[in-house]
Amino acid sequence: MADIHLGKIDFQKNYDKRLKENLELSKLEKVYKESTKKGKLNIDLIWNEKINEIDDVFFYENLSKEKFYNLENNYIIEILDLDKVVDLNCGGKVNSNKAYPKDKLWGTIRLDSNITKLIKYIKSGKILCPPVIIYRPNEYSSGKDIFTICDGNHRIALSRFLGLKTIPFIIKKEEIDKIRKIT
């Protein structure tokens, strides 16, 4: 019986902690939205541009469908034209202005809470992991391989809103020539 009681206490502590974090994020979201309206969302994106400094654990936890083994030997970081990458996402079948609007950051298909967490992360001085792009077979384009963003949608949305022209992307070494051809 004591274990069940302790479990309830732990649950309550976790609940209280999450509630407090959510309230803090809600307040930050209001501040960031107001700053955005006034044109004063002053943030600098600092990207990790060294593949050997990327945390492999990130990929195993966040990209379980894609196998990211031995990052340093199988992947590179390449600076690419952001607008071209966005326009080519999913074979050009994604409306880039809807998915990644340049003139709007809040109230889009991206969750405002995730944008808030991203801005908070950036403002804390942490270095961003570049978005990941891959080629993959696509059943909607007659079996033709397509280019897609498989991680980093909020970072891309923020980068476009901030007017960045190029940003780094993580790419499989074996796919770099295909990607260079189309970007």
According to the 3-state scheme, what is the secondary structure of 13-59? HHHHHHHHHHHHHHHHHHHHHHHHHCCCCCCCCCECCCHHHCCHHHH
Instruction: State how beta strands 145-151 and 75-81 pair.
Output: unpaired
Between 146 and 145, the more confident residue is 146
Mean pLDDT in residue range 54-66: 55
Same domain for 1 and 82? no
| Residue partners of 50: CB distance under 8 A and separation at least 6 | 77
Residue 50: is it exposed, middle or buried by C-beta count within 10 angstroms (0-12/13-18/19+)?
exposed
Query: Of 181, 70, 66, 72, which is closest to residue 133 (Cα–Cα)?
Result: 66
Rounded CA gap, 124 and 23, in Å? 18
At residue 170 the predicted structure's pLDDT band, cuts being 50, 70 and 90, is very high
Same domain for 167 and 78? yes
Percentage of the chain modeled with pLDDT above 90: 40
The phi, psi pair for 161, rounded to 5°, reads -60, -40
Q: What is the pLDDT of residue 82?
A: 93
Q: What is the pLDDT of residue 23?
A: 92
Q: Which long-range contacts (C-beta less than 8 Å, at least 24 apart) are formed by 52-57? A: 54/129, 54/170, 55/129
Residue 51 has, within 13 A of its CA and on its CB side, a CA count of 18
Domain count, the chain: 2
Same domain for 75 and 1? no
Same domain for 20 and 54? no
pLDDT in tens, 103-142: 999 998 899 999 999 999 999 998 999 999 887 766 655 6
Mean pLDDT in residue range 74-92: 85
Domain that holds residue 106: 43-182
Same domain for 60 and 33? no
Same domain for 81 and 144? yes
Same domain for 174 and 84? yes
Does residue 36 have a pLDDT over 80?
yes
Same domain for 140 and 61? yes
- Is-contact 85 159, C-beta < 8 A? no
- Is-contact 131 151, C-beta < 8 A? yes
Query: Of 65, 68, 41, which is closest to residue 130 (Cα–Cα)?
Result: 68
Same domain for 133 and 172? yes
At residue 3 the predicted structure's pLDDT band, cuts being 50, 70 and 90, is very low
Same domain for 134 and 47? yes
Same domain for 47 and 12? no
Same domain for 97 and 17? no
Cα Rg of the chain, angstroms: 19
Rounded CA gap, 7 and 180, in Å? 54
Q: What is the pTM of this model?
A: 0.82
